[in-house]
Amino acid sequence: MTMRTIDDLDVKGRRVLVRADLNVPLDGETITDDGRIRASVPTIKALAGRGAKVVVCAHLGRPKGEPNPKYSLKPVAGRLGELLGQDVAFAADVVGDSARAVVGSLEDGQVALLENLRYEPGEESKDDATRRAFAEKLAALADLYVGDGFGAVHRRHASVYDVPELLPHAAGGLVVAEVEVLRKLTEHPERPYVVVLGGAKVSDKLGVIANLLTKVDRLLIGGGMAYTFLKAQGHEVGGSLLQEDQLDQVRGFLDEAVRRGVELVLPVDVLAATEFSPDAEYDAVDATAIPADRQGLDIGPRTRELFASRLADARTVFWNGPMGVFEFDAFSGGTRAVAEALIRAEAFTVVGGGDSAAAVRRLGLPEDGFSHISTGGGASLEYLEGKTLPGLAALEE
């Protein structure tokens, strides 16, 4: 797979549409985690520094095809400007009068941000013609296209999939870096190769588990999804998160792991709480003996030690999904223990975006303690599942 990079484009004096991933968490108009904005800065800065008129487009949340002030990118424009050290002009619409006026007034080296792409129904439309019609309006704002929103490349959306067909295009630095890392994980990983999966649902990770069982040496399962594995082994899980409809599938994974000689490691103890709340009473109990009136909200101290020991000799690690409800301080210890074990490991360590990346920042851990923190959780998982990602396919030559 070969993709041109921004070094292959002559950008001076030209309007360059950059599809970035600026889908950050907001509390009102306050950005609570600017990791994705920071990750987008190098490509935007490089283009502006070479005299491009940079037109950034991105989505935020799920406004469902119509304007909604709650999902405006205006606060992002302010933060992006601070990080770039220059003003970022903000268009109050996506392809309307404001967008055309703002883009038309850009001088070489200046940057503008369009309003939320998902205000337009054409962005996410399943109908090819509707999506294409919107893509044409978006493409009309620019001379060149740069795909740098790795967190969206698994979506067949207008700004990701259709626009690159309409303009000369290249991959931004962030996308290039992400793909290089994912190739390292899939083509010739150094062994032992260990994958740690957490998060709420097994169903979100069925494909990736099935594919990884053919590639990894060890699979550590924590978070909410662990309870479906424990139940599949016949254990009581109380009121813990459980996907009954996935039990047969999970039994199949357990059998497949044995057949392939993959070490599948489950929690041996959990923090079992009386309710789902930050100050719930809890005890550390055996994972095989969760009381019927309790729910597991984190892996327990013995599991933290077990997981750390199974990561200590790893040469390659991919981690996706927290080990517990890390947003509650009392139940953040398992996620912290896994992250700290990754930092200690002499391995190529990849944090797979989404909640895992958010947890690293929330827990105040050093980001440079990991080899790579992905900006795209879903995109990373689909790549590791072996799927073709529409946004990457569109950037290929």
Catalytic residues: 36, 201, 354, 378
Consult the annotation and say whether 238 binds a ligand: no
The verdict on whether residue 315 carries a ligand-binding annotation is: no
Task: For residue 205, say whether it is annotated as part of any ligand binding site.
Answer: yes
In the numeric block, which tokens belong to residue 140?
């009309």
Residue 211 assigned to a binding site: no
Residue 22 annotated as part of some ligand binding site = yes
Three-state SS string over 300-342 comes to CHHHHHHHHHHHCCCCEEEEECCCCCCCCHHHCHHHHHHHHHH
Sign, CA dihedral 361-367-369-375, equals positive
Residues 21 and 77 sit within 8 Å (Cβ to Cβ): no
State how far the alpha carbon of 172 is from the alpha carbons of 113, 224, 347, in Å.
Answer: 17, 35, 27
Residue with tokens 């302010």: 78
Does 356 belong to an annotated binding site? Answer: yes
Q: How far is CA 329 from CA 16, 324, 356, in A?
A: 44, 10, 15
What distance in Å separates the CA atoms of residue 327 and residue 25, rounded to the nearest whole number? 14
Q: Is 263 annotated as a binding residue?
A: no
Residue of 175, 170, 111 lying closest to 145 (CA atoms):
170
Q: Which has the closest alpha carbon to 390: 206, 124, 107, 189?
A: 124
CB 246 within 8 A of CB 203: yes
| Ramachandran quadrant class, 358 (left: phi over 0; alpha: psi -120 to 50; beta: rest) | alpha
Is 327 annotated to bind a ligand? Reply is yes
Residues with Cβ within 8 Å of residue 55, at least 6 apart in sequence: 15, 16, 17, 18, 103, 106, 112, 114, 141, 142
R_g of the chain computed on alpha carbons: 22
Say whether 3 sits in a helix, a strand or coil. Answer: strand
285 CB-near residues (< 8 Å, 6+ apart): 269, 270, 272, 291, 294, 300
- 155: annotated binding-site residue? yes
User: Annotated binding residue at 118?
Assistant: yes
Q: Is 352 annotated as a binding residue?
A: no
* Distance separating alpha carbons of residues 201 and 221, to the nearest angstrom: 11
Per the annotation, binding residues are: 21-23, 36, 59-62, 118, 155, 205, 296, 327, 353-356
Per the annotation, binding residues for ATP are: 205, 296, 327, 353-356
Per the annotation, binding residues for substrate are: 21-23, 36, 59-62, 118, 155
Per the annotation, binding residues for (2R)-3-phosphoglycerate are: 36, 118, 155
